[in-house]
Chain A
Amino acid sequence: MTVSYALLGLLEEADRHGYDLKQSYDRRFGASRPLRFGQVYRTLAQLQRDGLIEIAGLEAGAGPDRKRYSITPEGVTDLERWLSEPEDPQPHLQTVLFQKVVLALQSGRNAEAFLDTQRDRHLAVMRELTAARRTAALQDSLLADYQLFHIEADLRWIDHAAGRLETLAAEIQL
């Protein structure tokens, strides 16, 4: 799911070949989990079917690598929507949040606004859970606590990242 948006984000920056996309993705997001080529081309085919990207040019030679892809206006709209919508708190959300921050910064969008919106969503869920756990039996209240501590960890990361956006932006532009 987030791989498609990452690829859209990279294509918004510049038209690229599939091979290029994989390299850029791995450098930026794939430190622990590089993309497989098959996954790149499957995702590109899907994005193209959905009208979010198109082929900008074909170069002489054979194989999928000859195609240069570019993002369509629909693709930009879809990417914008994804970036501006906060995610529901859930375990293992960090990679998505991280990806959104990097994509927002690289494209000159307001990463701080994204983090603010995300913080609000997290705090709203915390408030609901805190209210619910007060009347709950211990089992349910402990389950709510589990979620609360995870959300808290996300929030700490959000605040931590918000304080370092300028440095991160400079690093990404390198």
Chain B
Amino acid sequence: MSPPMLTGAGLRKSFGPVPALRGAGLSIEAGEVLAVMGPSGSGKSTLLHCLAGILTPDAGEVIFDGQRIDRLGDAQRSRLRRTAFGFVFQFGQAVPELPVLENIALPLLLAGQRRRAAMATAARWLPRLGLDGLGQRLPGELSGGQVQRVAVARALIAGPRLVFADEPTGSLDSVAADQVMELLVDIARAERVGVVVVTHEARVAAYADRRLTVRDGHVAQRATVP
């Protein structure tokens, strides 16, 4: 069996005196969709941020592709996030001043691709997103669900190995949420991209291959019955 694509082990992180993670860990394989559930304040978002190199853990390790990434410097971590990871958050990812097409193409432009090629690639995504003909609209002119589909496209367009999604459907109604999850999961499976999705919604977690629960800064061990 090949080693997992990403492993976090013994992760600890405190904000001031408040511990958010107390030795949490998980692994994810290529092409796997993993749901991380847990009540608010359980530490699930902090766990995601540590795994994705957004936060540096106080203790523990994060191994991506056989390499420790928790000790990398800011610049290296930032490069890793740009090249190997994609992100979908609940709010505020679309740049309001840029039309949809440019928002989708952003990761390619940041990676130094020529504008014309990047925009052409982004345009090929529109039908798949159900956004045909809306490429020149501004994000403010789209529905919440459409904006989140733009966010999914932007997370995936540069060919990441892993996508981290933090409450990606948190602000959507159930139909829009289903569309976002179907899009994310279908593309991830087809392209063998791993997905870590943090959610408190069972309906979203039901799209995942596997589910973990975070409680009080730990990945919960199952209690046995009775």
Contact = CB atoms under 8 A, between A and B. Distances in A.
B182 A123 contact: no
B183 to A, nearest CB: 12
Nearest to A163: B39
Contact of A110 (B174, B208, B223): B223
B225 A114 contact: yes
Contacts of A145: 174
Chain B, interface residues (CB within 8 Å), range = 10 to 19
Chain A interface mostly helix, strand, loop or mixed? helix
A117 B225 contact: yes
B202 interface: yes
A109 interface: yes
Interface of B: 39, 174, 182, 201-203, 205-208, 211, 222-226
Given A80-B226, A110-B226, A123-B202, 16 more contacts: A83-B226, A104-B226, A110-B223, A110-B224, A116-B222, A116-B225, A122-B202, A123-B205, A126-B202, A127-B206, A130-B206, A130-B207, A148-B203, A148-B206, A149-B174, A152-B203
A84 interface: yes
A109 B182 contact: no
Which 7 pairs show the lowest CB-CB distances between chains A and B?
A: A113-B223, A126-B206, A130-B206, A84-B225, A84-B226, A113-B225, A155-B202
Nearest to A80: B226
Given A110-B226, A113-B223, A159 B206 contact: no
A104 B226 CA distance: 9
Interface string A103-118: 0100001101110110
Interface residues of A, number: 27
A138 to B, nearest CB: 12
8 contacts: A83-B226, A84-B225, A112-B223, A116-B222, A126-B202, A126-B206, A130-B207, A159-B39
Contacts, number: 49
Nearest to A81: B226
Contacts of A117: 225
Nearest to A151: B202
B203 A114 contact: no
Interface string A48-76: 00000000000000000000000000000
A148 B175 CA distance: 13
A80 B226 CA distance: 7
Contacts of A116: 222-223, 225
A42 interface: no
Contacts of B203: 126, 130, 148, 152
Among B201, B202, B208, the one with the most A-chain Cβ atoms within 10 Å of its Cβ is B202
Contacts of B226: 80, 83-84, 104, 109-110, 113-114
Contacts of A151: 202
Nearest to A159: B39
A123 B206 contact: yes
A127 B210 CA distance: 10
Nearest to A114: B225
Contacts of A163: 39
Contacts of A110: 223-226
Interface in A134-167: 134, 145, 148-149, 151-152, 155, 159, 163
